[in-house]
Structure 1
Amino acid sequence: MTQILQARANRIQKIIGRKENKLAKLSVVRLSFFSSIFLSSILLYLSQLSYLISAPIVILFVIGFGFTIRIYNLNETSLIQFKDCYTFLKREILRSTNSTKQLFRSFPITEKERNSHAFCEDLNIFDKDGIFPLIDTTCTEEGEYKFLQNLLRRKEESSLEINNRQEFTKLFTNRKYFSYQFLRIGSENWEFFLGKKWTTTAWKIKEIRFFEKRNILRRVFPVLSALSFIVIMGSWIFSLPFGASFLILNLILFLSYRAESIRLFKSFESAKARSKQTEKLLHKINSVLKIWNKKEIQESFRSFKLSYSELWNSPVPHLFANILYLHDLWQIRKVEQWNNETYITRNEWIQKLEEVDSQLPFIHLSFMNTAWNFPILDDNLSYMEAEELSHPLLQSQNSISNPLQNFSKGEVLLITGSNMAGKTTFMRTVGINILFALCGGPILGKNFKLPSMKITCSLRNQDSLTEGISLFYAEAKRLGDIFKILKSNTQPILILLDEILKGTNTKERYLASEAILKNLQGKNTFTLCTTHDLELAKIPNLQLRHFTETISNNEMSFDFKIRDGVVSTTNALFILKREGVIV
């Protein structure tokens, strides 16, 4: 995919170069015509030629100048579109190579919320080189909000609900290049690296209440407007009386509603700015779903463009139009009529657009990674298993896949291993792939079967000097939260514990860890725990796996493959000696 995107980017770059050269030439032609108009006017005036001879010459240059300006503007618009497309392609090349740090913009949730969340920090969701910068392709604020609701698992869902979302994702994934085209259209004129997304709020305005307290004005303004226009124009042309009176009356009326009318026009400003873009996206969605009438969409947007006025952006013309014929009242009546006639269908369209946008990260993820597969979710399953699971943030050439073998509910999978051998990465691999599965997206693995579940972790606990929290206390609080969830939750829970209770002394760590793991056995949980305390492996009925290393010729290497049983090698002293530590 990277090669395809790069080839397209190279082609677009060449087109941009040709367009820029063409614009440079058109600039010279435009300047030549303008200079010709000016010089010919002076020369013809000085030569005192007849207007019948001189006028056509000047008009010819004026026509040439106008035609050149039109061609220039069309090419300039085209150049901007090609530059937008090139920027989009370069961004997608970064995404295809997992260059997440360069994709980072800003985070949509607070640091406090990230730190208190059950798995955000532990699974690297909002790191600069994390999951969110890699997969977030939402274009609208509303789509991003719904995407985050899904990604952060803020609502408990059954496998049926998740499977419905998965089928929805597959439907759009099966339409080749849908996500690519949707994202390209949706991100036009979008300040991506500032994290600014556009909003659909204006399209969902249900009622316009401008005339709600102005019923009399609603009835009389058409007559008043027509009468005042006739009298004012008659007064100006034929010196008829009362023209000034109507001007003053219209001015008073305008000042009485000006603030509210401008506020109303502003509320639709974002819709007007994105109307062409929104219409394109709806047609793109309808090309897959085939549930709407294409002409109805076109007519609705055409009607809106005719109803909406941008005259309020020009204060002086806006003032004159209102004191002459109450311009704003006519426009508000048009917008109100359009709003009432199209609200039900328009709201349906926008809701579907937001739904597609919220699921676009997973649609696009599947499009960009054809080797990824969709999992099987079934709440009747009491186990989960997968083949060839890999971490989504690792490049394929650096990623080692591992299986998750028949892992039953109520079991504790204890993973031992040397430092840097891959224990924590394996846990994160399992956690992130399960998260993607619960979101209705694809996973980087094969034959993944699992029930719906909740995710909670204790992997990256940190102390806090300002809050007076030690590393041990931070982990104790997190473990306390896990047991509270366990008491109140009806769904199975995935629990990921990394080097449990590493912040306290050896004796108490072992006693507490043993008690915790025994307590989790037989519960409505799937527990993965890494440890260097090999004595914990003696707890009965644990699933035991390990990672190891090879040391040869004073060099250490890892294959990052998970194996059955308990690790039999260590490497801490070797690493310390290699780094010059006297041990």
Structure 2
Amino acid sequence: MLEPEKQYEKRKAYYNRRLENLTQTINRLSNIRLVMFLAGSGLAVFFYWTHRTSLSISTVAITVITFVALVIWHQTLRQRQSYLRLLYEGYDQALKRLAGEWKSFLDSGEDFKDPAHPYSGDLDLFGLGSLFQWINTARTFRGREALKERLSESPVEIGEITERQEAIKEMARNLAWRQRFLADASMTKRTLSSPKGMIEWAKTFDATYLRLEVLILARALPLITILFLFLYFGTSRVSFWYPLTGCLIQTLILLLGKQRGKVLNAVYAYKESIKVYEKMLERFEKRSFQAQHLRSLKKGLRDREGKSASEQIRKLARLADLIANRSNAMFLVINILTLWDIQCMIALESWKERSGRSLNRWVDTIGELEALASLSIIHFDHQAWRYPELIAENPGIVAVKMGHPLLRESVCNDLSIEKQSGILLITGSNMSGKSTLLRTVGINLVLAYAGAPVYAQSFRCSLFQIYTCMRVSDNLGENISSFYAELLRIKQIVIASKTADKKIFFLLDEIFKGTNSQDRHAGAKVLIRQLSKAGSMGMVSTHDLELGELERESARKIRNYHFREYYQDDQIRFDYRLRTGISTTRNAMYLIKMAGIDVEGEGTL
């Protein structure tokens, strides 16, 4: 199989050629249409001036028919051009992602940032430079939400994650199908809004329009009125009062339903979303899948009569098209003669009665597929990464050559956190890699629980509730200092550690840094001991070397690891390699000197 970059480049070049050829065809068609219109108009005028009226009328008719046909053909080609452009842009975006240019992608998931979430902010899951911005290809509202949930919700059970892994593997193998599926979601001029209103609308139906007498009247009255109208114009036996009376009765019926217009206009408002859902569902239904999760999703795409979701959504899309011309002036006449609004309401309520309650499940299925497609990018682009082994017994994390997924040149380290030594104390100088290691472990756990591969040669873990306390800042609106905010986060972790049915994994970075060194040391020591006693697992980074005593005091239930720096050509260097034991080096004074502060020449005040 070709490398991801070569596949992307090959497909991008293919769609670029098709776009160029199609653009040339469209331009030629535009020229032909103009020439044909001018020639037809000229001929019609010429025949009219030469008193050949029949030829003039024929020429006008042929010109108009041909011109309309060319306009329709032109619009069809423009739609195909838009679709090809989306496919081209999809592969272009994939190449940018491989090249590390993904931070320029517009959708960073900024709206999903939540300061109260136990770990998403500290692990860069949402916002500029986030995991979401790196992999997200979802275009529908529910698709973005589904990916957000996969990245930020706690794992439920191993079997569910394993099924998702198989689905992601299969999605990754189907590159062309996946790109077309995502292009279908982008075939709209506007960003798809929340489907909540549409789903609530579909769940409730008005049974009045489905009553037999209403159906008979709605069908019979227009037929009778139109029949009287034909008889009035075709014969002299029928008075104009008959069709007029019919029209008056039907106008009165239309005026009685005040809420009808709101219902019909609501359907039209969802028109673009409905058509996008139809295309996406149809593409999914036509594809055969082997993964159990994907097959289960496919089985759910049937209504209670066994009809496919795409077929039912297509019916709704057609109804939306029928309602589209309600604002047209000519529609008033048609509406009165045919009771068009009533006919549409009958069709809509009938659709809602049969399929309305299934709409939520169908939209959720689309969202889940978009989330899986986004996660499958990791597997396709990084085929050397491995799927984690999820274990139910002997809780812990064992990783070999683990790196940070968002760093292009991440240094990989081995890591082992097991029951007999469940807490790692990481020491080291400034900028040596302590915080990055904590985030590396956390973000790889997030990927593991989402069903995606992780950046490691091998990775084994159990299911944990993740909690972090790394980036804490003031909240002026709530009048909360950074130190108090940190205490609130730590309180959250302590409470969770006391919950019997929870397995906690915590990541603490320089805790209690907002207070004096003596209190910081004492507080950190008490907290780490308490978390260890509760059976929680995690990692703590610190500059406080005295905390290294905890390894001996805890009989190695708490273990010491460190990073170190070295100096070369009068420059500070880091190898970012994790080593056992407590740190023995410091670099703060060197960094202060680099800032231009004369440390050696400091005098007394």
| Residue 526 (structure 1) aligned with residue 537 (structure 2) | yes
- Write the distance in 1 (CA, Å) between the matches of 2:126 and 2:516: 32
| Residue 422 (structure 1) aligned with residue 419 (structure 2) | no
Give secondary structure in 2 for the equivalent of 1:444.
Answer: coil
Question: What is the aligned partner in structure 2 of residue 43 from structure 1?
Answer: 46
Question: What is the aligned partner in structure 1 of residue 145 from structure 2?
Answer: 145
The one-character-per-residue Cα deviations of 1:508-561 (angstroms, maximum 9, x if unpaired) are 111111111122224231120111111111112221111111102202221111
Alpha-carbon offset, residue 370 of structure 1: 1.7
What does 1:145-224 correspond to in 2, within 5 Å? 145-153=145-153, 157-175=156-174, 177-189=176-188, 196=192, 199=195, 202=198, 205-209=202-206, 211=208, 216-224=213-221
Question: What is the aligned partner in structure 1 of residue 571 from structure 2?
Answer: 555
CA distance 1:95–1:237, change in 2 (3 Å): farther
The one-character-per-residue Cα deviations of 1:231-260 (angstroms, maximum 9, x if unpaired) are 233334446332212111111111222642
Alpha-carbon offset, residue 466 of structure 1: 4.4
| Residue 226 (structure 1) aligned with residue 223 (structure 2) | yes
Question: What is the aligned partner in structure 2 of residue 431 from structure 1?
Answer: 442
Give the number of equivalent residue pairs: 574
Q: What is the letter of the counterpart of residue 558 of structure 1?
A: F
Question: What is the aligned partner in structure 1 of residue 373 from structure 2?
Answer: 360
CA distance 1:286–1:233, change in 2 (3 Å): farther
| Residue 464 (structure 1) aligned with residue 475 (structure 2) | yes
Alpha-carbon offset, residue 324 of structure 1: 0.2
Segments ≥4 residues shifted beyond 6 Å? 344-347
- Write the distance in 1 (CA, Å) between the matches of 2:104 and 2:93: 9
CA contact (8 A) 1:410 1:522 kept: no
CA distance 1:465–1:145, change in 2 (3 Å): closer
| Residue 389 (structure 1) aligned with residue 406 (structure 2) | no
Question: What is the aligned partner in structure 2 of residue 484 from structure 1?
Answer: 495
What does 1:327-338 correspond to in 2, within 5 Å? 327-338=340-351
The one-character-per-residue Cα deviations of 1:271-325 (angstroms, maximum 9, x if unpaired) are 5432542343332555555666999536545555555523444432332222102
Alpha-carbon offset, residue 413 of structure 1: 0.1
CA contact (8 A) 1:98 1:134 kept: no
Question: Could you tell me the TM-score, scaled by structure 1's length?
Answer: 0.88
Q: What is the letter of the counterpart of residue 507 of structure 2?
A: L
CA contact (8 A) 1:452 1:492 kept: yes
- Write the distance in 1 (CA, Å) between the matches of 2:194 and 2:88: 20
Alpha-carbon offset, residue 432 of structure 1: 0.4
Give 1:579's match in structure 2, choosing from 595, 598, 601: 595
CA contact (8 A) 2:47 2:55 kept: no
CA contact (8 A) 1:409 1:523 kept: no
Of the structure 1 ranges 36-45 and 3-12, higher mean CA displacement relative to structure 2 is found in 3-12
- Write the distance in 1 (CA, Å) between the matches of 2:521 and 2:155: 34
| Residue 27 (structure 1) aligned with residue 23 (structure 2) | no
Q: How much is the aligned-residue C-alpha RMSD, in angstroms? A: 3.1
CA distance 1:311–1:103, change in 2 (3 Å): closer
Of the structure 1 ranges 176-185 and 317-326, higher mean CA displacement relative to structure 2 is found in 176-185
- Write the distance in 1 (CA, Å) between the matches of 2:84 and 2:524: 59
| Residue 246 (structure 1) aligned with residue 246 (structure 2) | yes
Q: What is the letter of the counterpart of residue 370 of structure 2?
A: D
Question: What is the aligned partner in structure 2 of residue 317 from structure 1?
Answer: 330
Question: Could you tell me the TM-score, scaled by structure 2's length?
Answer: 0.85
CA contact (8 A) 2:221 2:246 kept: no
Q: What is the letter of the counterpart of residue 102 of structure 1?
A: S
Of the structure 1 ranges 77-86 and 230-239, higher mean CA displacement relative to structure 2 is found in 230-239
Alpha-carbon offset, residue 452 of structure 1: 0.6
- Write the distance in 2 (CA, Å) between the matches of 1:150 and 1:69: 45
CA contact (8 A) 2:108 2:127 kept: no
Unaligned runs of 5+ in 1: none
Of the structure 1 ranges 425-434 and 54-63, higher mean CA displacement relative to structure 2 is found in 54-63
Alpha-carbon offset, residue 394 of structure 1: 0.9
CA contact (8 A) 1:491 1:524 kept: no
Give secondary structure in 1 for the equivalent of 2:506.
Answer: strand
| Residue 124 (structure 1) aligned with residue 121 (structure 2) | no
Alpha-carbon offset, residue 365 of structure 1: 2.5
The one-character-per-residue Cα deviations of 1:365-395 (angstroms, maximum 9, x if unpaired) are 2223222221111221232201111111111
CA contact (8 A) 1:9 1:90 kept: yes
CA contact (8 A) 2:188 2:272 kept: no
Q: What is the letter of the counterpart of residue 144 of structure 2?
A: E
What does 1:509-520 correspond to in 2, within 5 Å? 509-520=520-531
| Residue 277 (structure 1) aligned with residue 279 (structure 2) | yes
| Residue 505 (structure 1) aligned with residue 516 (structure 2) | yes
Alpha-carbon offset, residue 206 of structure 1: 4.0
Give secondary structure in 1 for the equivalent of 2:330.
Answer: helix
CA contact (8 A) 1:510 1:533 kept: yes
- Write the distance in 2 (CA, Å) between the matches of 1:29 and 1:414: 76
Give secondary structure in 2 for the equivalent of 1:242.
Answer: helix
CA distance 1:283–1:480, change in 2 (3 Å): same
Q: What is the letter of the counterpart of residue 164 of structure 2?
A: R
The one-character-per-residue Cα deviations of 1:169-227 (angstroms, maximum 9, x if unpaired) are 34434545443333233333265xxx645748757824531626977534422222221
